[in-house]
Structure 1
């Protein structure tokens, strides 16, 4: 084992495991933050099925992001009025 990893106390180790769990947990769009950023799943200590490990960039993410962008635009422009 790496000496640096051995020197980490249990609190720091659990903090990093918590970060790993957060980064690999799917969001409401169905993909994890790590997958949205890097296009692949993170290796973790949790068992994962083989079909989830295959890399695929779908239109689902693009459509979801466009939907969210349009939704935020409507919220941003909600109280505005057209200038003369």
Structure 2
């Protein structure tokens, strides 16, 4: 009887502590969204464990511009082929 009571109390404490950490995480996410931050949970290939990646609006803008610049530089350096002769221009 004592063992059952102890297991029951341990289970309740574990459950309540899990709920408490979830609400705190939600509060942190709400605070971050109000400040212009965005957090996303992503999983790497082959992993079931999500990792949280947070970025500000400025970080996302700079990453988008860097990606566009990289794409432009790759497309500018790509060799073109003349379809009639099959030779590079």
TM-score with structure 1 setting the length? 0.33
Q: Which structure features the higher share of strand residues?
A: 2
* Bigger relative CO (Cα 8 Å, ≥ 6 apart): 1
Rg comparison, structure with higher value:
2
TM-score with structure 2 setting the length? 0.31
